[in-house]
Amino acid sequence: MKRIFLIILYISIASCASTKESKDLFENYNTYSIKIKNNKVKFIMSMLSKDKAQKIKALGAKEFPVLSEFSHVLHKIESHYQSIENNIGCLTINGYGENNKPIVLSIKYLHEDKNWGVDFVEVYYADSRNEFQNKGVCPSES
């Protein structure tokens, strides 16, 4: 009986842990989207990976427009998935943009100083919803 209780307790703890983990990247995306709409640039810079934030500071405003607009391309979210391996997180969001066009948004996160920072973003304009992803995939940086 004790063994069954421990197994049930372990499964409960594991499912709670995976539930918390599964929310981290998508919650980060939602927070980023809200803050960018409110033009909280300083806060947004803190949500980027250290490398990306340094590049933006060095380049000035050249790269920031992309990072300030990617969260606006989706008007309706259908599903989202993530994968995390060590300090790299990949969030894939399937949804629809203007005129109900299917879009796959892929975001690469780096875990630095106990926070997830946006490091790279890719917006893919799909031909149909058949191209939606069913797992978290990092964007290709090529």
pLDDT digits (tens, 9 = 90+) for 44-57: 777 888 888 888 77
Q: What is the pLDDT of residue 54?
A: 83
CA distance 61 to 93: 26
How many C-beta neighbours within 10 Å does residue 139 have? 19
DSSP helix/strand/coil, 117: strand
* The token pair that represents 114 in the structure block: 């106990």
Is residue 27 within 8 Å of residue 47, measured between CB atoms? no
pTM over cut 0.75: no
Q: What is the mean pLDDT of the chain?
A: 77
Query: For the CA atoms of the chain, what is the radius of gyration?
Result: 17
Domains and CATH numbers, the chain: 23-131 (3.10.450.50)
